[in-house]
């Protein structure tokens, strides 16, 4: 992989890292600021309300996917990526200055809600823009490896958030964290977004997009009309995302709360478990992505779905009784190794389903819909089961979502050999139509 390609991957990943730092610090610091925006009372109910606002951000993601996916297909990947980080910076500033319930009543909740809506718009477009950019910026035989850096950067953003949380937990009192120090990560996120905005202004457009004359001259590029012509692939994106996004959010953003609220670990220990597990998880992404370039995407996806379907209930049940750092770390890492089969390659698999003129929107909107329905609600569903006294029901819910995606993975055709520049045309080696992705 050449120096120019590495530069494209670095700039795209750096922005993605800041985007997801801001996205995840909301979830990881929610245990500290949940009571700040609601009347004192039931801690679980307040956390549910705060995570309900978190879920609102996910429901804005389809809007962001449509809007920024259209920008990406009509104006270029660079334009979409620059716009996403601008929106994310604005949302981080709003959360950092949001007034508490004591100061402004429910006015603080309104500010928080607007900020989460902006975050939803931003992330709804960021995923598709970065997935498309990283996939198109790489050599044909390295797309799995290159696109795996999307989850490397996403996880790095979360790790930075957790690292900051650990530092604050060890350097400040519990009272300070609940009263004002929870604002610090959002200030950091806003500053980081400003730096990335500067980097993205000078980033290079991908050759696949810049040199595709058919896409450039197509008046329907980036429109719903063009997406409807690829509705089969769009529904496929929703189905293959379902199990992966639920499992991912279960073992990342919800894990720390589960370890502290159910397994009985202290908040600092729970955060440290998540940090160590996620660091190793991040390192696995390029290895799994490179493996998919050799053996194909389907074997990894099927392995993930089988593992999540049959291991989620045992892993979550054992985690409940882990009791200390090392058992909790081992079980968490086992779960994340399974999830790697999805996270390392899902970006390139989705990008490989669509031609250049509809690739950004084709990935963005269906993926955002799937995340709104399943990813964004995962924590809320988990807390709902817990509040109802049947927490184990959530484990079966995760397994069921993975089972649905397993059926999709088993019926998909391999996408590794698709030529991004010749979508819908025969391969030069006489292969079959690369637009066909389902087994006949």
What pLDDT does 248 receive? 94
* pLDDT digit string, tens, across residues 141-166: 899 999 999 999 988 988 898 789 88
Output DSSP code: residue 204.
P
Among 76-80, 208-212, 416-420, which is the least confidently predicted range?
Answer: 208-212
> Is residue 337 packed enough to be buried (19+ CB in 10 Å), middle (13-18) or exposed (0-12)?
middle
User: pLDDT at position 256, please?
Assistant: 86
pLDDT in tens, 183-200: 999 999 999 998 888 888
Residue 427: its pLDDT value, please?
A: 45
Average pLDDT for residues 111-130, to the nearest whole number? 88
Above 70 in pLDDT, residue 308?
A: yes
- Cα–Cα distance, 243 to 334 (Å, whole number): 17
Residues contacting 36, CB < 8 A, separation 6+: 100, 101, 102, 108, 178, 179, 182
Q: How far apart are CA 221 and CA 209, in angstroms?
A: 12
* Residue of 1 and 435 predicted with greater confidence: 1
pLDDT bin (cut points 50, 70, 90) of residue 436 is very low
Check if the beta carbon of residue 237 is closer than 8 Å to that of residue 363.
yes
Q: Are 203 and 8 in contact (CB under 8 A)?
A: yes
pLDDT (average), residues 94-101: 89
Q: Are 345 and 38 in contact (CB under 8 A)?
A: no
- Tally helices (H) and strands (E) across the chain: 23, 0
Most confident of 38-42, 268-272, 305-309: 305-309
| 137: Cα within 13 Å, side-chain hemisphere | 32
Q: Which of the pair, 7 or 275, is modelled with greater confidence?
A: 275
Mean pLDDT of 88-97: 91
Distance CA 335, CA 203 (A): 36
CA 143 to chain centre: 19
94 neighbors 115 (Cβ within 8 angstroms): yes
Q: Which residues contact 375 (CB under 8 A, 6 or more apart)?
A: 58, 241, 245, 246, 248, 249
Q: Is 212's pLDDT higher than 90? A: no
Provide the residue count of the chain. 440
434 close to 354: Cβ distance less than 8 angstroms: no
Closest CA to 338 of 258, 405, 431: 405
């Amino acid at each position: 992989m050449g120096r120019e390609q590495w530069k494209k991957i670095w700039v795209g990943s750096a922005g993605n890292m800041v985007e997801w730092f801001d996205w995840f610090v909301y979830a990881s610091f929610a245990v500290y600021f949940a009571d700040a925006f609601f009347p004192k009372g039931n801690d679980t109910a307040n956390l549910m309300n705060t995570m309900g606002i978190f879920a609102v951000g996910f429901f804005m993601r389809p809007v962001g996917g449509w809007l920024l996916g259209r920008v990406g297909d009509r104006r270029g990947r660079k334009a979409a990526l620059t716009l996403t980080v601008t929106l994310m910076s604005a949302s981080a500033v709003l959360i950092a200055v949001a007034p508490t319930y004591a100061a402004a009543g429910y006015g603080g909740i309104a500010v928080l809600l607007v900020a989460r809506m902006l975050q939803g718009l931003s992330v709804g477009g960021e995923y598709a823009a970065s997935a498309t950019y990283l996939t198109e910026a790489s050599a044909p035989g390295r797309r799995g490896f290159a696109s795996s850096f999307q989850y490397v950067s996403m996880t790095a953003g979360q790790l930075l958030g957790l690292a900051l949380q650990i530092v604050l937990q060890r350097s400040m009192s519990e009272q300070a964290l609940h009263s004002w120090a929870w604002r610090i990560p959002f200030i950091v996120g806003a500053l980081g977004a400003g730096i990335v905005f500067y980097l993205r202004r000078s980033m290079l457009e991908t050759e696949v997009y810049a040199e595709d004359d058919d896409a450039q001259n197509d008046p329907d590029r980036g429109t719903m009309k063009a997406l409807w012509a690829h509705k089969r692939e769009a529904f496929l994106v929703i189905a293959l995302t379902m199990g992966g996004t639920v499992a991912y959010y279960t073992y990342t953003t919800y894990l720390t709360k589960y370890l502290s609220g159910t397994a009985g670990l202290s908040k600092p220990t729970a955060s440290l478990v998540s940090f160590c597990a996620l660091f190793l998880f991040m390192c696995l992404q390029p290895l799994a992505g490179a493996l998919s370039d050799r053996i194909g995407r389907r074997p990894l996806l099927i392995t993930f779905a089988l593992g999540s379907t049959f291991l989620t209930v045992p892993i979550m049940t054992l985690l409940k009784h882990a009791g200390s750092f090392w058992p909790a770390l081992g079980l968490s890492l086992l779960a994340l190794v399974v999830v790697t089969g999805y996270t390392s390659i899902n970006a390139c698999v989705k990008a490989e389903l669509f031609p250049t003129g509809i690739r950004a929107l084709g990935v963005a909107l269906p993926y955002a819909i799937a995340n709104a329905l399943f990813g964004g609600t995962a924590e809320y569903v988990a807390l709902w089961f817990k509040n109802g006294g049947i927490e184990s029901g959530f484990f079966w819910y995760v397994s069921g979502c993975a089972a649905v995606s397993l059926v999709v993975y088993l019926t998909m055709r391999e996408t590794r050999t698709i030529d991004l520049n010749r979508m819908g045309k025969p391969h030069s080696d006489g292969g079959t139509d690369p637009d066909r992705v389902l087994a006949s």
